[in-house]
A and B are shown apart, each in its own frame.
Chain A
Amino acid sequence: MPSLPEWGAEPMTYLIQGETGDWEVVVGLEVHAQVSSKAKLFSGASADFGGKPNTHVSLVDAAMPGMLPVINEYCVEQAVKTGLGIEAEINLHSVFERKNYFYADLPQGYQISQFQHPVVGEGTVTLDMEDGSQRYIGIERLHMEQDAGKSMHDQDPKRSFIDLNRAGVCLMEIVSKPDIRSPEEAGEFVRKLRSILRYLGTCDGNMEEGSMRADVNVSVRKVGSDELKTRTETKNVNSIRFIMQVIEIEAERQVEVWESGGEVVQETRLFDVARNETRAMRSKEFAHDYRYFPDPDLLPLKLSEDYVAALKASLPELPDQKKERFIAEFGLSAYDAHVLVQERETAAYFEVAASGRDGKQAANWVTTNLFGALNKLGLSITESPVSAANLGKLLDLQADDTISGRIAKDVFEIMLDTGDDPEKIVEEKGLKQITDTGAIEAAVDEAIASNPEQAQQVRDGNGKAIGWFVGQIMKATGGKANPGAVNQMLRDKLSSD
């Protein structure tokens, strides 16, 4: 039995310790991302999720005799934008081909896809790992294809039902090179890809609704080897957690197979969530000769350089660029910047809150206080009761010494409850910091007088005791005294001479 995977000495090295030595895992992902488009790839029918069965079906989708596909140019635009977003080569000439196989939810008897000539070629996705390192994952290609319909086998004891609402919806298949070396990298890859797609608006990245899913290709090899051994492909994995689980399970299984003298078989496998295992599909389920050939109903897809250049010019700022800008403009750490740009909404929130203010402080507030609170409330950043503008105001109140850091946290709690403007809260609750030296002095004198022993310790040079006094005075003033002023006054009054 191989032991559980462990993090090796090298950063980001994921090793499986077998009986014959250490193994590493080689992973490639094929991510299917549904293009955000109102209409399907080759018909005008709605591509919306949901809807009663067979209500989003055109004559083309149902493959009625004599019906012909017409390319949806909006979908092409989204695929090209996505290609540009992953820094990939755009192929000005690409071809739609037919992938032939019979299934009840595939009305044409073939899926229109791209095979030999995809619209997007090689690209790169950059991953920011938790330890601050970066990994570059190569993209092999991106192509467009039609989704199939849905077969429902649980509606009737004898019959299966078919829902063609999804049939013909445009998917982008994004194929990575086998550059991924751990479940964490795979997870980060999908998160990063999803982030790019969402920034571009080309896919909503909603894995629960099936807008994104992945086929996971896994093989293992001895550490130090650069051989690519037989891989398995686990189909249709629909969450980041499951993708990571599949890699762990497959890697362990394969190491065990090799070490026990067996041979890993190139096959298609399914992930059984309930049993937390992968298992081979029956050969019948995948043993197809797809007989790809160029679809004679469609002309080759030709794009002009100008078209691609115009799309490139229209791209929004993407996560990597935004991250660099946040580092440069706001002085953030690479890690904070990475965390803030993952979701476009978070980045936008941060920018409003941080604009014209101390960026690092704003980042701290967003990544610790706000994220923590939202997490507890189960809310997304767009649902935050504390608006970005109000968080900014809170930072201002703290910066100009209107309130102390401690009070700011209290005000923030109230803002979470009420959504109110922090200025209003501070005003109404009388939380303004006491900057009146007379009032502070009175409190300091009172404290020194009541605690002669501690006062003596301070005079004797015990620095910790000063902190104790500050605490006492802050307590006495309900936190409203300016801690800096209190500290200074204590030092003045308790100085040894």
Chain B
Amino acid sequence: MTMLNELTITDAYQKLSSGEISAVELTQSCLDAMAAARDLNAFVTETPEIALERAGASDTRRASGNTVGPLDGIPIALKDLYCTEGVLTMAGSHILDGFVPPYESTVSANLRDAGAVMLGKTNMDEFAMGSATVTSYHGSTKNPWKLDDGKDRVPGGSSGGSATAVAGHLGLAATGTDTGGSIRQPASFSGIVGMKPTYGRCSRWGLVAYASSLDQAGPMTKSVEDAAIMLQSMAGHDPKDTTSAPIELPDFQAALTGDVRGLKVGIPKEYVIDGMPGEIDTLWKRGAEMFRDAGAEIVDISLPHTTYALPTYYIISPAEASSNLARYDGVRYGLRVNGDSLDDMYAKTRAEGFGTEVRRRIMIGTYVLSAGYYDAYYVKAQKVRSRIAEDFTKAFNDVDVVLTPTAPSPAFAIGEKMDDPIAMYLNDVFTVPASLAGLPGISVPAGLSAEGLPLGLQVIGRPFDEETMFRASHVLERQAAFSAKPTGMGG
């Protein structure tokens, strides 16, 4: 029999609606699973009291016929990048030591208002800077997928805690944030669905900022349909975020027609990179076949500036980060290490508060914005970014969605690539172009590596056309029929 915590949102909703289970029971089963899986280090803060209280409130609403929607009573995890009122929020960083926001991020408030039950806050790379959830002040998170080599694997990152929470059935769903792939890549590594909406679809208000022009909130779920349900509640225009789009939300779940006949799926030739394992390429081809089998048309396309996407990303995102992280100065909140002068206090606080990777990106960002380098790096990167977006615009004249691998490898062992930032950055090579172009992208588990680790495929859609992206990925999910289970949950 399926444990309650292993249910999808849609299944749980049915059982809740029929009265077969209560939200409190469902929540308790997740809390029990969390307690049993603490060694995975998925959560940095557990909030069982809040969870049970909200679950109880949900049951009361349901009993009186006032259920607020498909998320009412559904226990979820929140990435620790979301500011949560009255609950410690550290974004994986020592510099936010003890920071308890007096406000709730718009997206998590939307979820709360939709009846979702917060289980706790999940681990992440410090300030979302990383692709493996190994740069967190709270230590690494383990991927529940294990091989018999005895090594722990990374869940991907930066939303690795959320990925592990969903893959390990510690919550029914989770929120992540994606700047260059931080939802999609860990989803691929963990055998779950991870979706980054169009830039501007979700409010960034109350998300600890990494790179403002790229950051987007998105769902991490066990199914495409669950992702559509989550996004429905997370998204929407927010007057508090000027970059959030003032447009109506479509009905995402209604877009899941199961029918892709005549849909044009683009296969970009530039997404073949040196040293990529053959099995990734094989899986990608199989994905294209799945679409063809379902009646879609496969179209070869070119996105010529793809090769510049990663360097462009690693100029723009650190530039914005170097400025966004200037507010962590020890003056008003978080960590303060006293010094002999104001400058000394800044230096000591920031040296102690920020980890190596964050310091590296602040240095890179400061450098590319400096007088004499700004035009050569930042301005040029912005121009290339426009070219990359134009590539997609042109491609979308011919196709409806683009299919690519999500990541160039399966999950690697914790400790690998730690001393080679460039190798680490390559994890994002397939996710970064859509981020730079502001496009929606979703990773769907599509198969296993030869060793037995999950691999995802990415479907990229037109801006604000998540509906087509969902419709396509929903069919891909059905065709792939991924049913493997993580092997490392210790029974």
Contact = CB atoms under 8 A, between A and B. Distances in A.
Contacts of B170: none
Contacts of A11: none
Given A107-B332, A108-B326, A110-B323, A65 B242 contact: no
Contacts of A59: 102-103
A109 B326 contact: yes
Interface stretch (B11-19, B43-51, B200-208): B200-208
B435 interface: no
A291 B103 contact: no
A296 B316 CA distance: 10
Given A65-B89, A107-B331, A293-B378, A299 B242 contact: yes
A152 interface: no
Given A298-B242, A299-B243, A293 B327 contact: no
A348 interface: no
Nearest to B333: A64
A104 B241 CA distance: 26
Contacts of A104: 329, 331, 342
Nearest to A66: B206
B99 interface: yes
A22 B281 CA distance: 80
Contacts, number: 96
A365 B444 CA distance: 86
Contacts of A296: 211-213, 243, 320
A293 B204 contact: no
B326 A62 contact: no
Interface stretch (B134-142, B364-372, B450-458, B464-472): B364-372
Contact of A100 (B211, B323, B378): B323
Contacts of A100: 322-323, 326, 369
B26 interface: no
Nearest to B213: A296
B394 interface: no
A443 interface: no
Interface string A97-109: 0101011100111
A160 interface: yes
B346 A102 contact: yes
Interface string A56-94: 000100111111111100000000000000000000000
Interface string B374-407: 1000100000000000000000000000000000
B414 interface: no
B105 interface: yes
A68 B369 contact: no
Nearest to A101: B326
Contacts of B89: 65
Contacts of B105: 66
Nearest to A69: B242
Interface in A24-70: 59, 62-70
Contact of A102 (B102, B206, B329, B370): B329
B417 interface: no
Contacts of A108: 326-327
Nearest to A299: B242
A179 B323 CA distance: 36
Is chain B's interface secondary structure helix, strand, loop, or mixed overall?
Answer: loop
Interface in B135-172: none
Interface in A263-312: 289, 291-293, 296-299
B204 A66 contact: yes
Interface in A105-123: 107-110
A162 B331 contact: yes
B376 to A, nearest CB: 14
Contact of B205 (A66, A107, A110, A293): A66
Nearest to A151: B342
Interface string B290-320: 0000000000000000000000000000011
A193 B103 CA distance: 43
Interface in B89-137: 89, 91, 96, 99, 101-103, 105
Interface residues of B, number: 43
Contacts of B205: 66-68
A67 B99 CA distance: 14
Nearest to B209: A66
A110 B320 CA distance: 12
- Greatest chain B CB density within 10 A among A62, A71, A289 is at A289
A159 to B, nearest CB: 10
Contacts of B331: 104, 107, 162
Contact of B370 (A65, A110, A291, A298): A291
Contact of A297 (B242, B327, B370, B378): B242
Contacts of A63: 327, 332
B326 A68 contact: no
B452 to A, nearest CB: 39
Contacts of A291: 322-323, 366, 369-371, 374
Nearest to A162: B331
A63 to B, nearest CB: 4
A71 B242 contact: yes
Contacts of A66: 83, 101, 105, 204-209
A34 B406 CA distance: 51
- Greatest chain A CB density within 10 A among B209, B240, B319, B331 is at B331
Contact of A293 (B206, B323, B326): B323
Given A100-B326, A297-B212, A297-B243, A65 B96 contact: yes
Contacts of B206: 66-67
Given A107-B331, A109-B329, A291-B369, A65 B320 contact: no
A65 B83 contact: yes
B258 interface: no
B240 A70 contact: yes
B239 interface: yes
Contacts of B207: 66
Contacts of B103: 59, 64
A144 to B, nearest CB: 15
Contact of A68 (B213, B242, B343, B370): B242
A109 B332 CA distance: 12
Interface string A159-175: 01010000000000000
13 contacts: A59-B103, A65-B89, A66-B209, A102-B329, A102-B343, A107-B331, A109-B327, A291-B322, A292-B369, A292-B374, A297-B212, A297-B243, A298-B243
Given A66-B208, A68-B241, 7 more contacts: A65-B89, A66-B105, A108-B326, A109-B329, A110-B326, A297-B212, A298-B243
Interface of A: 59, 62-71, 98, 100, 102-104, 107-110, 160, 162, 289, 291-293, 296-299
Interface of B: 83, 89, 91, 96, 99, 101-103, 105, 204-209, 211-213, 239-243, 319-320, 322-323, 325-327, 329, 331-333, 342-343, 346, 366, 369-371, 374, 378
Pick the 8 closest A-B CB pairs, nearest first.
Answer: A109-B326, A296-B212, A291-B369, A296-B213, A63-B327, A66-B206, A65-B208, A66-B83
